[in-house]
């Protein structure tokens, strides 16, 4: 890869911060956008802007065709069987909330047929009633100890509303999941397994293909949170055999406010709608409403068409490059950062799995991560500090937070050296 040529697509990187050239190492939070993506979204609003579907005039037809072409591009990118298995959402968080809500209604509608009654949230979890009139102690969802809040809280709230239980797969001190405990928890018959492909704090690459296979032996559907993996590694949902895969566009060089949910068609057919109105309806009367076919059943309201086209362009941008070369380059950045940071006295890496990708998290003895990150910023280096929306991970390691440097295809080994020098200088100043 010619990194210098690639960087020309990202003018935001060509600026100074506090008189220093910007080093942007906050890519796990969001990636920068190439000019082709920015121009594609701009061109939509300049020449194609229209509400899609059902319109018979030229602009509506043109915008609808472009939007559905983008859906097919996403389907091909993750190797879905059919374009109708791709639901456009605002991103990973909305996709996971969609699934948690839809699964809750599916489970409750099939558990019994008693009249519904309100949930009393003031009661202890064990005494709460589901909206079908009785507590459901069998409503369990299995997650892992390294989940982002977006893949924890929706499931947690769902089971707590109904007197169920959230099961958690533990991890060791290196940030590696305990698969023996995972299988034991599968035997407790959770309704769903929802796991991160790559941890946004630890960088651990979880063995999701193996975990899917294990869950399917117990007929349990699996959701994979691919927010941190889709920009770094090729995704093949058919090879993974996952039932659902969710991701955010803004973490893979696309605009904010767009993302996707892949779901096997047979599962998406079973799940009830998440929101109501707009294109997701088929027929409506005061007595009854019927719902549209996939994928429209889950796409209520006016979609973010411009961002969807930007997402398609971001995919095309990635496909124009050698994905294996990207993986190799980003791994070189990671290994170089780890090697150089290891020379710092008192450093502690949080997450040392053998299989990891995209980022490095660390703390330095006696220095608060926020203080370290603030001084590093004054040297022109953008990193993320805090709990990274994964407070249970911090609790597991007994720390308030970490400094996280995360890498993208446009970063360079020279930037890694600047970053490490900044960390060393900040550490000297704070000791």
Active-site positions?
A: 389
Which residue from 9, 1, 22 is spatially nearest to 414, judged by alpha carbons? 22
**Three-state helix/strand/coil letters over the chain:** CCHHHHHCCCHHHCCEECCEECEECECCCCCCCCHHHHHHHHHHHHHHCCCCCCCCCHHHHHHHHHHHHHHHHHHHHHCCCCHHHEEEECCHHHHHHHHHHHHHHHHHHHHCCCCCCCCCCCCCHHHCCCCCCCCCCCCEEEEECCCCHHHCHHHHHHHHHCCCEEEEECECCCCCECHHHHHHHHCCCCCEEEEECECCCCCEECCHHHHHHHHHCCCCCEEEECCCCCCCCCCCHHHHCCCEEEEEHHHCCCCCCCEEEEECHHHHHHCCCCCCCHHHEEEECCCCEEECCCCHHHCCCCCCHHHHHHHHHHHHHHHCCCHHHHHHHHHHHHHHHHHHHCCCCCEEECCCCCCECCEEEEEECCECHHHHHHHHHHCCEECEEECCCCHHHHHHHCCCCEEEEECCCCCCHHHHHHHHHHHHHHHHHHC
The token pair that represents 46 in the structure block: 């300049």
The upper half-sphere exposure of residue 354, i.e. CA atoms within 13 Å in the direction of its Cβ, equals 1
């Amino acid at each position: 890869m010619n990194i210098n040529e690639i960087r020309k697509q990202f003018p935001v990187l060509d600026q100074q911060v506090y008189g220093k050239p910007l080093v942007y190492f906050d890519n796990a939070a969001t990636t920068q956008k190439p000019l082709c993506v920015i121009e594609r979204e701009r061109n939509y609003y300049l020449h194609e802007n229209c509400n899609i579907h059902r319109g018979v005039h030229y602009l509506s037809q043109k915008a609808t065709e472009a939007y559905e072409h983008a859906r097919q591009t996403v389907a091909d990118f993750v190797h879905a069987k059919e374009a109708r298995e791709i639901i456009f959402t605002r991103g990973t968080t909305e996709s996971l909330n969609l699934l948690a809500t839809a699964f809750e209604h599916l489970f409750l509608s099939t558990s019994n047929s008693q009249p519904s009654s309100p949930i009393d949230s003031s009661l202890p979890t064990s005494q709460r009633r589901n909206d079908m009139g009785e507590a459901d102690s069998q409503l369990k969802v299995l997650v892992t100890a390294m989940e982002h809040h977006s893949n924890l809280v929706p499931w947690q709230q769902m089971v707590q509303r109904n007197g169920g239980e959230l099961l958690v797969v533990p991890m060791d001190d290196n940030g590696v999941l305990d698969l023996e405990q995972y299988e034991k928890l599968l035997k407790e018959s959770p309704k769903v397994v929802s796991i991160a492909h790559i941890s946004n704090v630890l960088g651990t690459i979880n063995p999701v293909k193996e975990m899917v296979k294990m869950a399917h032996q117990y007929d349990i559907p699996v959701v994979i949170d691919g927010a941190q993996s889709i920009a770094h590694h090729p995704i093949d949902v058919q090879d993974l055999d996952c039932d659902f895969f969710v991701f955010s566009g803004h973490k893979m060089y696309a605009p904010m406010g767009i993302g996707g949910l892949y779901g096997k068609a047979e599962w998406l057919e079973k799940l009830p709608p998440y929101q109501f109105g707009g294109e997701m309806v088929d027929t409506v009367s005061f007595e009854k409403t019927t719902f549209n076919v996939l994928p429209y059943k889950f796409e209520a309201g006016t979609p973010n068409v411009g961002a969807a086209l930007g997402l398609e362009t971001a995919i095309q941008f990635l496909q124009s490059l050698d994905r294996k070369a990207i993986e190799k380059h980003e791994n070189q950045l990671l290994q170089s950062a780890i090697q150089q940071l290891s020379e710092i006295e008192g450093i502690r890496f949080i997450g040392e799995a053998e299989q990891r990708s995209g980022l490095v998290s660390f703390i330095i003895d006696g220095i608060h991560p926020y203080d370290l990150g603030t001084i590093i910023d004054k040297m022109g280096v953008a990193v993320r500090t805090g709990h990274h929306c994964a407070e249970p991970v911090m609790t597991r390691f007994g720390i308030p937070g970490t400094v996280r440097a995360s890498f993208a295809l446009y970063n360079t080994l020279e930037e890694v050296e600047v970053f490490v020098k900044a960390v060393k200088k900040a550490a000297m100043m704070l000791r």
